[in-house]
Amino acid sequence: MAFGNCFRPLEQGVGVKKSGSFPLIVVTGLSGAGKSTALNVFEDLHFFCVDGLPASMLPRMVELFQGMDKAHRGLALGMDLRQLDFVEEWDSATAQLADMGMKPQVVFLETRQDTLLTRYATTRRLHPLETNALGLEQALDTERQLMAPIRESADLVVDTTGYSIHDLRRIIQEKWTDLEAPSSCMRVHLLTFGFKYGVPIDADLVFDLRFLPNPYFDPALRNLSGKDTQVSHYVLESEVGRAFQKRFVDFFCYLLPLYATEGRYRVTVALGCTGGRHRSVATGELLYKVLKDSGYAVTMEHRHCELG
């Protein structure tokens, strides 16, 4: 089933690369979610990286890099609540950057609460907000609340729950290809998952696709995935699948421009089936192509595809 360009992304100045500028990445998020590992990835991508930079120093760092460094492809800065005034200074710093014709692309890392508790117990490090009067769990809750506005405006949100260092490296490398070409339209992150492994906490919209025909029960298709043509045809070219395709695409044609009008420029859409391998992946690949052809900056993550 073919679809035309029915989407009309709105200009919002997201990630616009000004003349003579360079990629500016800010890696932030919850303490313990993997920021240092993400910065190592950007270092391998030939970015000049600085960790623990105060937000007030951001404009000055950009000035220094812009005037002196010619060997690196861009600047990647790690920032978090180790500087306790980070949140308060963030708006002022980004406003100064806007006056300079620069807008950072923000990568926000987060992790489920129980995973963070385990990581801190393993490393035995103190959380930046932890005190004699504020325990670790309360410190994590406070940090999540303080960082919520920055998460909401981030260009990319990555939930590192269950990721090894190697998994996180691979995900950042894959997603950087989409951040590498800045877009002036709204960003959409598509995430496929299996309900048997739990619903993603980082989704704005969740769709249950378990009503579609299930290739799992066909022995010839069971070991394939929704990326394979045979599975995609089985799921989406059935009578139910064809009717669903049209309604699903029409829904996003209607919805995304409304989000953009309200000032949203990032939406995470989670598509789920039982195991996250067949129906959700086939639908995600379809929607990815439609959005890409329609001019949206879209990223795709098949979170559970290889687990089943």
Residue 183 annotated as part of some ligand binding site: no
Instruction: Flag whether 35 is marked binding.
Output: yes
230 is in an annotated binding site: no
Place of tokens 């195991």: 275
CB 221 within 8 A of CB 230: yes
Is position 33 annotated in a ligand binding site? yes
21, 27, 18: which is closest to 49 by C-alpha? 27
Distance, in Å, from the CA atom of 160 to the CA atom of 165, rounded to the nearest integer, reads 9
34 marked ligand binding residue: yes
82 assigned binding-site residue: yes
Is 284 annotated to bind ligand?
no
Q: Read out DSSP for the chain?
A: --------PPP--TT---TT---EEEEEESTTSSHHHHHHHHHHTTEEEEES--GGGHHHHHHHHHHH--SSSEEEEE--TTSTTHHHHHHHHHHHHHHTT--PEEEEEE--HHHHHHHHHHHTPPPTT--SSS-HHHHHHHHHHHHHHHHHT-SEEEE-TT--HHHHHHHHHHHHHHHSS--SS-EEEEEEEEGGG---TT-SEEEE-TTS--GGGSTTTTTS-TTSHHHHHHHHSSHHHHHHHHHHHHHHHHHHHHHHHTT--EEEEEEEESSSSSHHHHHHHHHHHHHHHTT-EEEEEESSTTT-
4 labeled part of a ligand binding site: no
36 is in an annotated binding site: yes
Question: Is 276 labelled as part of a ligand binding site?
Answer: no
Are 182 and 19 within 8 A, CB to CB?
no
Annotation: binding site for GTP: 80-83
Annotation: binding site: 29-36, 80-83
Annotation: binding site for ATP: 29-36
